[in-house]
Structure 1
Amino acid sequence: MRALAACRRRAAVAGMALLLALVVPPAQAEERPLLLVMGDSLSAAYGIERQEGWVSLLDERLDGKANVVNASISGETSSGGASRLPDLLGQHEPHIVLLELGGNDGLRGLPPRQFEANMADMIEASQAAGAEVLLLGIDIPPNYGQAYRDAFTGVYDRLAEEFDVPLVPFLLEGIALDDSLMQDDGIHPTAAAQPRILDTVWPELAPLLEENGLTLAVHD
């Protein structure tokens, strides 16, 4: 009887091990880099289908080799992003944070120093949480005046230098002045522009992915 009971216990343990193997993700899945995108409407696929946005295209390009969390909200400012980020860092524990904010600050004419302080807070919080940061810069229309535009765009350069983080100087490079790639509002890119946005981001993002253990056979 004792031998029979022992056999039953071993069978039960083996069955439980098999069940766990089926339902628990493999260790490799848990070790995949996680990317957190903190942006505004440019990253939230405003005016187009969400799956057409550049962040969704990034997720497709990574093909399961990394996880992508898009925490972008249309209309988001650097102040709003700074207030939301700590909870998101704790929830997702990202390896890489992509900061695409500032456009709404600029369009509202907010002081560049305030914008810079908010962005600095987000970079510091991300780095303190063990994440690397990629800055995605943006520009504002010429009618805001060259002095303000220079002060605004200069924030990204200073932050990149101060915190030693990579920078994409202008997310909409080659797109913003092409009417065929912009929606009627002249601010938001079309679906056709989204692959070009991703191609603009990729050269700065790829080295961060490699540093986090991702073998990049994901883009030909």
Structure 2
Amino acid sequence: MFFKRQLLLCSFIIIAFSNPASASRLLVMGDSLSAAYNLRQQDGWVSLLKNQLSQSHPDISVVNASVSGETTQGGLSRFPPLLLEHKPQWVILELGANDALRGYPLSQTTSNLEKMIEQAHQADAQVLLIGNQIPQNYGKRYTEMFFNLYKKIAEKYKLAYLPFMLQGVALNKDLMQSDGLHPNKKGQPVVLKNVFPYLYPLLNRIKENK
């Protein structure tokens, strides 16, 4: 994933796809990559996930609490009320890239992500951690440390872990918006195709235990 140094304007977007009879919820905590930036909400990968789950797992509702420009600190501050309100069984955690854009210490990003994971576990929610990449002009050492922090967190907490959700998308101009940062409408199904194999076992794990 490639970023410009300028920061995106933060826009708060929360979309709940719910079935009143649903007993289970999936909460997505992400940044612009999960907030359908510059697209109609129904074209984003989270909405496409909702449509797919309506067929394979109709008892699961999806809550998208992603925010364009969100940092891990912002996500951490919003997370406890969201857990309390929605009581999710699963959390997709896709945050951190904007921390790097702002030059935040990696130790702070790590700490914020770990706190969110611990809060999710305390709420009996399983976590899928999605990693991010930043461009090499931030320095090879920093970019490698940033990419690897997600793997270390995933290993520490034994999480389901997707290293990079834009695999096969980020370098394909046909699948990216003109800003070179965000997938376009054609790229969103590919993002979902990257995410779903990591999410599916978690969904079935709880289903089998019911």
Same fold, judged at TM 0.5 (above)? yes
Partner residue in 2 for 1:62: 53
Could you say what the CA RMSD is over the residues aligned between the two structures, in angstroms? 1.1
Matched, 1:149 2:143: yes
The Cα shift of 1:109 comes to 2.0
**What is the distance in 2 between the residues matched to 1:182 and 1:142?**
19
Q: Which AA in structure 1 matches 2:147?
A: T
The equivalent residue for 1:36 is 27
1:54 CA drift (Å): 0.2
Aligned counterpart, 2:176: 182
What's the offset of the Cα at 1:65? 3.2
Pick the structure with greater CA Rg: 1
1:99 and 1:85 mapped to 2: Cα distance? 11
Report 1:1-220 matches (<5 A): 29-31=21-23, 33-63=24-54, 64-213=58-207
SS at match of 2:198: helix
Letter in 1 for 2:28: V
- 1:89-119 per-residue CA deviation (whole Å, 9 max, x = no partner) reads 0000000000000111122221111100000
The normalised TM-score by structure 2 is 0.86
8 Å Cα contact 2:22/2:60 also seen in 1: no
Q: Larger helix proportion, structure 1 or 2?
A: 1
Give distance in 2, aligned partners of 1:46 and 1:141.
Answer: 20
Q: Give 1:35 deviation, angstroms.
A: 0.2
Q: Aligned partners of 1:40 and 1:57: how far apart in 2?
A: 17
Distance 2:97 2:107 in 1: 14
Residues 1:150 and 1:90: Cα distance change in structure 2 (over 3 Å): same
TM-score normalised over the length of structure 1: 0.82
- Structure 1 unmatched runs, 5+: 1-24, 215-220
Deviation at 1:125, TM superposition (A): 0.3
Instruction: Specify the SS of the correspondent of 1:175.
Output: coil
Which of the two has greater strand per residue?
Answer: 2
Partners of 1:106 and 1:175 in 2: how far apart?
Answer: 21
Structure 1 segments, 4+ long, off by >3 Å, are none
Q: Is the 2:22–2:61 contact (alpha carbons within 8 Å) kept by the matching residues of 1?
A: no
In structure 2, C-alpha distance between the alignment counterparts of 1:93 and 1:165, rounded to whole Å: 19
In the aligned structure 1, how far is the partner of 2:102 from the partner of 2:169? Answer: 22
Unaligned runs of 5+ in 2: 1-19
Deviations 1:133-175, CA, capped at 9 Å, x for gaps: 0001110112111111111011100110000101000010111
Q: Identity over the aligned pairs, expressed in percent?
A: 51
